[in-house]
Amino acid sequence: MAQARLHDILVIMPAWNEAESIGNTIREVFDFGPPCDVLVVDDGSRDSTAELARKAGATVIQLPFNMGVGGAMRTGFKYAKKNGYQQVIQVDADGQHDPRDIQAVLDGLKNADIAIGARFADKGDYAVKGPRKWAMNVLAWTISRISGTRLTDVTSGFRAANTKAMRQYVDHYPAEYLGDTIDSLVVAIRSGCTVQQVGVSMRERQGGAPSHDPVKAAIYLGRSGLALIFALTRKKSEPSSN
């Protein structure tokens, strides 16, 4: 499973049935991103996602059953820690995260332990409307308060971490797809990790179908709210030193 580390930066790509876009997304990462290795974490795709990812030059971990994005990312962070990567960044397999922005998001790690590529900072025209937008605003406002920095897009998966944040995620990343981005972010902040937002332009999905429709997205955000409350009330943990 493990392949020798060639670079200090690891792109972690959670992927589920992304055969239509994954090959191209990986090639774009190599072409337009900084020198890096790419790890695809696939859990139970029924198409040729894993095979196409390997062909495009990624290392692939296939999990025996579906653990959702949260479980996939945790596997990725464990792999990064074990192999000595200095920086990791999540890039979605569907091409929504523009590989040209990877370096800018990683640059955010100069001032913080976690950097978030944020959609509405000031670039791009990716629109989210209605209840989903309101819910996202409430979450953003709340998490801005705890982090002490203004965040506008806390559900963005386009996130980078340094070694301190990586350790934190390995210890505490929630394994289920229950508000995974929000919950893990709040836990990391409460454990002493700092956050910085970087403005990026988000693209449309480059193929395939989103894993959730608008109704499911609304439910997801509702659950994120609950996850947020759990995370806020959970006992504060110290970052581990190993």
Ligand X SMILES: Nc1nc2c(ncn2[C@@H]2O[C@H](COP(=O)(O)OP(=O)(O)O)[C@@H](O)[C@H]2O)c(=O)[nH]1
Among 9, 19, 33, 68, binds ligand X (CB under 6 A): 68
24-46 burial, b if ≥16 CB within 10 A, otherwise e?
ebbbbbbeebbebbbbbbbbebe
Question: Which partner, ligand X, Mg ion, none, binds residue 93 by CB below 5 to 8 Å per kind?
Answer: ligand X
- The answer to the question of residue 219 lying near ligand X (CB under 6 A) is no
CB atoms within 10 A of CB 57: 13
CB atoms within 10 A of CB 217: 17
Positions 150 through 189 that interact with ligand X (CB under 6 A): 157
CB of 16 to ligand X, least distance (A): 3
17 class by beta-carbon count within 10 Å (0-12 exposed, 13-18 middle, 19+ buried): middle
CB of 41 to ligand X, least distance (A): 5
In the chain, the amino acid numbered 111 is N
**DSSP assignment of 95-123:** S-B-GGGHHHHHHGGGT-SEEEEESSSSS
- The answer to the question of residue 120 lying near ligand X (CB under 6 A) is no
- 114-118/159-161 β-pairing: antiparallel
Of 68-76, 113-121, 141-149, 224-232, the segment contacting ligand X by CB under 6 A is 68-76
Of 10-18, 53-61, 89-97, 230-238, the segment contacting Mg ion by CB under 5 A is 89-97
Among 28, 37, 43, 183, binds ligand X (CB under 6 A): 43
Among 28, 37, 94, 183, binds Mg ion (CB under 5 A): 94
- The answer to the question of residue 66 lying near ligand X (CB under 6 A) is yes
Of 92-100, 116-124, 140-148, 188-196, the segment contacting ligand X by CB under 6 A is 92-100
Q: Which residue has the tokens 């449309």?
A: 204
Interface ranges with ligand X (CB under 6 A): 14-16, 18, 41-43, 66, 68-69, 72, 92-94, 96, 157, 210-211
